[in-house]
Amino acid sequence: MAKNKLNKGNEVNQEFTKPKISKALLAKASQLFAYLKPYKGKFVLGMVFLFFSSITTLTFPALLGAMTDAAQGIQTYPWLTPSVQQIGILAFALLVFQTLTSFFRVRIFVEVAEKVLANIRRDTYRKLIVLPIDFFANRRVGELNSRLSADLSQIQDTLTTTLAGVFRQTLILIFGVVLLIWVSPKLALMNLSILPIIIIMASVFGRFIRKLSKQAQDELADSNSIVQETLLGISNVKAFVNEHYESRRYQTKLDAVVRIAMKGASYRAWFVSFIIFCILGAIIAVIWYGSSLVSIGEISVGDLTTYILYSMFVAGSMGSFPELYANIQKTLGASERVIEILNENPEPIKISKENKRINKKISGNLMFDKVGFSYPTRPDSEALKDITFEARAGEKIALVGPSGAGKTTISSLILQFYQPSKGKILYDREPAEGYSLTDIRNQVAIVPQDVLLFGGTIRENIGYGNLEEDAEDIITAAKRANAHNFIMDFPDGYDTVVGDRGVKLSGGQRQRIAIARALLKNPAILILDEATSSLDSESERLVQLALEELMKDRTSIVIAHRLSTIMDADNILIIENGRVIEQGTHAELVRKETGLYHYLYSLQSNEKIYPN
C-alpha cells in the first residue's frame, strides 16, 4: 500500500508504535525516571495509600462471607465471634477508610504526574528551541508537534494510572490467589487448572483480532488524512473543481475500512462469545462444585461466597494485565522518542536573559572566504561552491541569480543557521568561531523572503525585534517602516491581533512589519531577502522607501529579484548554481554584454519600456 508522507504522519498520531521491551529501551526510558526524583517522597506516599486501599479491598470478600455465615449462626473464623451487625459496621468502617485512601492516592498521583510532565514538557521545549535548524528541516513540524504531545500524554497516563494499576493488580492477584487457596484448596485447584487454557486461547485469539483491527485503524487514518488534506487545501479543491475526485477518493478508502472491519467481524463475534462462555462457565463451575462441597459439609456457605468474590477479583486482575502491558509498551516507545529529543545535540546557546546582551561588537564588515556548503540532508550536492566576497561596513551588496541558485542559503550561513563545509565566514575580519552564536545573531537582522508573523498583536510582532523597547520606539520604528498609517487604519491600531486567529495582513504589509522589527533591532548587518511575488506598485514603493530607511548606515546584503532596487549597490554578485559567476557595480555589469546580468537587466528594463 503506497502511503504518502502526510498519511504516515497521521497514522503515527493515531496508533502508537509498540516496541519490543528490551534492556536498551528500559535503560533509555529510565532516564525519564530522573524527573520523578524531586517528587520521590510524594510518589512513595501515593504508593503507601495505594497499598492500603488495595489491601482493604481484599478484606471485603472475607467480611461478606463471614456475615453470611453469621446470619446462619455459624462462625467462619472460630477465634472470632462477631454478630452480623458488628461485621456490617466493620465493613462500613473499612469502606470509609478505603474511600479516603483512594482519594489520597489519586490526588497524589495526579499531582506528581502533572508536575513531572510539566518539567518534561518544559525541558523538551527548551531543548527544541535550541536545536539547530537542520533538525527541523528533516521533520515536518506539525507532525513533530502532535507526535510529541501524544507521546507526553501517554507518559502522563502511565504516571497517573498505569503504574498504579500494575501495582494494584499485582497485589490483588498475589493476595487473591493465596486467599483462594486458603479458603478452599480443592476449589482453587479446580479453578486454577482451567485458567491457563482460557488465558492461552484468549491471548492467541486476541492477538489475531488486534492485528485486524490495527489494519482497519490504519485504513481509517489514511481516510482521515484525505479529509484533513482536502479541508486544508479547500481552495485548491474548489479552484480545480475536484469535489467529485476527492469524494470518490474518500469513498474508496472508506470501502477499504469497511472491508477489513467485516473480515474481522466473525472472529470478533466468536471471541466475545468465547470470553462470555468462559466467564459464566467458570462461575457456574465454581458454584456447582462449591455447592457440592457445601452439601457434604466441607465448606460453609460463607466460604463459598468469599471464594466467589475472590475469584472475581483475581479474574478481573488477570484480565487487566494485557492492557496494562500494552500501555507500558506504548509508554516505553513514547519515552524513547522524547528521550531522543532530549539527547539531541543543541546549538551552543544557553537559554537566559543574557542571550540578548552583545558582548563583542561587530561594526559591519562581512567576508566570505572560499565558502563551500552542502545541506546536511543533501550531502552530495553542493549548494554553495567557493563563494568569496567582502562587504565593508556600511556597504550595500546585492545577490542576484535564478531561483535555487543559493541566495537564501548564503543568508542562512550569515545567520549561522549552518556552518560552512569549506572556507570561512568572517565578521570584522575575524572568523565566526571568535564570536558567540548569540553575538552574531544579535547583530544580524533579516527581513525574510516570506514573513511569518506570530499570532499576537502588531505591537508584539514589531517588539519582537527588541523586547526591551517601549511603546514609543515601536511606533517610531513603524513610522520609519511606512507601516504606521495602515496600522492606524485598523480599529484596534497597534493592538490588532494578526496571524492565524486574527487579521490577515497583505504581503506588503507583512513585509513592512518585518522591516519595522528589523529597524528596532538596529543591527550592524542587515539581510533583505526580497519576496519573489511582486507587490503592486504603490506598496512596492512604500516597501522600497522603508527598506532604504532600514539600510541607512549599515552593511546590507540584498537578495534582489527586481534589479531596479539594487542599481546603487556597491557590489553586485551574480550567483548561479551556488557559484559567483560575475560581479561588479551595475555600470560595470551592464557593460558586459554577454553576461547574465546584462541579459536579466535587458529583460526587466524591456518590461518597463513595453508594459504588457
- 525 forms part of the interface with ligand ATP (CB under 6 A): no
- 404 forms part of the interface with ligand ATP (CB under 6 A): yes
Q: Give the Cα-Cα-Cα angle 391, 394, 398 (nearest 5 degrees).
A: 50
Q: Which does 378 bind (CB under 5 to 8 A by kind): ligand ATP, Mg ion, none?
A: ligand ATP
> In terms of CB distance, is 401 or 508 closer to ligand ATP?
401
As a whole number of angstroms, the distance between CA 336 and CA 339 comes to 5
As a whole number of angstroms, the distance between CA 577 and CA 387 comes to 11
Residue at grid coordinates 550561513: 413
> Residue 563 contacts by C-beta under 8 Å, 6 or more apart in sequence?
400, 586, 597, 600, 601, 604
According to CB under 6 A, which one of 337, 407, 441, 484 is a site residue for ligand ATP? 407
As a whole number of angstroms, the distance between CA 108 and CA 44 comes to 10
As a whole number of angstroms, the distance between CA 128 and CA 340 comes to 11
Give the interface segment with ligand ATP, choosing from 50-58, 353-361, 372-380, 433-441 (CB under 6 A).
372-380
Site size with ligand ATP, rule: CB under 6 A: 14
Interface residue list for Mg ion (CB under 5 A) = 408
Q: Which does 409 bind (CB under 5 to 8 A by kind): ligand ATP, Mg ion, none?
A: ligand ATP
> In terms of CB distance, is 52 or 375 closer to ligand ATP?
375
Closest separation in Å from C-beta 477 to ligand ATP: 26
Give the interface segment with ligand ATP, choosing from 66-74, 190-198, 375-383, 514-522 (CB under 6 A).
375-383
Q: Which does 510 bind (CB under 5 to 8 A by kind): Mg ion, ligand ATP, none?
A: none
Q: Which does 577 bind (CB under 5 to 8 A by kind): ligand ATP, Mg ion, none?
A: none
> In terms of CB distance, is 235 or 403 closer to ligand ATP?
403
Which triple of cell numbers denotes residue 539? Answer: 506598496
> In terms of CB distance, is 366 or 410 closer to Mg ion?
410
> In terms of CB distance, is 10 or 408 closer to Mg ion?
408
Closest separation in Å from C-beta 419 to ligand ATP: 14
Q: Which does 338 bind (CB under 5 to 8 A by kind): ligand ATP, Mg ion, none?
A: none
> In terms of CB distance, is 101 or 374 closer to ligand ATP?
374
Closest separation in Å from C-beta 556 to ligand ATP: 17
Q: Which does 375 bind (CB under 5 to 8 A by kind): ligand ATP, Mg ion, none?
A: ligand ATP
Q: How many CB atoms lie within 10 A of CB 504?
A: 10
Q: Which does 316 bind (CB under 5 to 8 A by kind): Mg ion, ligand ATP, none?
A: none
Q: Which long-range contacts (CB under 8 A, 24 or more apart) does 431-434 make?
A: 434/360
- Name the H helices within 130-233: 133-137, 141-157, 163-183, 185-232
Are 16 and 157 contacting, i.e. CB atoms less than 8 angstroms apart? Answer: no
> In terms of CB distance, is 133 or 488 closer to Mg ion?
133
Q: Give the Cα-Cα-Cα angle 510, 513, 519 (nearest 5 degrees).
A: 145
As a whole number of angstroms, the distance between CA 22 and CA 133 comes to 32
According to CB under 6 A, which one of 266, 403, 537, 612 is a site residue for ligand ATP? 403
Which residues does residue 574 pair with via DSSP β-bridges, in sequence order?
400, 582
CA-based nearest residue to 61, from 204, 147, 184, 166: 184
CA-based nearest residue to 77, from 305, 311, 302, 309: 302
**What one-character-per-residue DSSP string does 4-30 give?**
-HHHHHHHHHHS-------HHHHHHHH
Closest separation in Å from C-beta 483 to ligand ATP: 24
Binding track over 408-427 against ligand ATP, x by CB under 6 A: xx------------------
Closest separation in Å from C-beta 578 to ligand ATP: 7
- 377 forms part of the interface with ligand ATP (CB under 6 A): yes
- Say if strands 571-576 and 555-559 run parallel, antiparallel, or are unpaired: unpaired
Are 101 and 53 contacting, i.e. CB atoms less than 8 angstroms apart? Answer: yes
DSSP 39: G
Closest separation in Å from C-beta 401 to Mg ion: 10
Binding track over 442-471 against ligand ATP, x by CB under 6 A: -------x----------------------
Residues 255, 259, 265, 266: is their CA dihedral positive or negative? positive
Give the interface segment with ligand ATP, choosing from 219-227, 358-366, 403-411, 462-470 (CB under 6 A).
403-411
According to CB under 6 A, which one of 46, 406, 465, 508 is a site residue for ligand ATP? 406
Closest separation in Å from C-beta 604 to ligand ATP: 15
Closest separation in Å from C-beta 600 to Mg ion: 16
Cα dihedral 461/466/470/472 (nearest 10): -70
- 137 forms part of the interface with ligand ATP (CB under 6 A): yes
- 383 forms part of the interface with ligand ATP (CB under 6 A): yes
Which amino acid, 86? Q
Which residues lie near ligand ATP (CB under 6 A)?
137, 375, 377-378, 383, 401, 403-409, 449
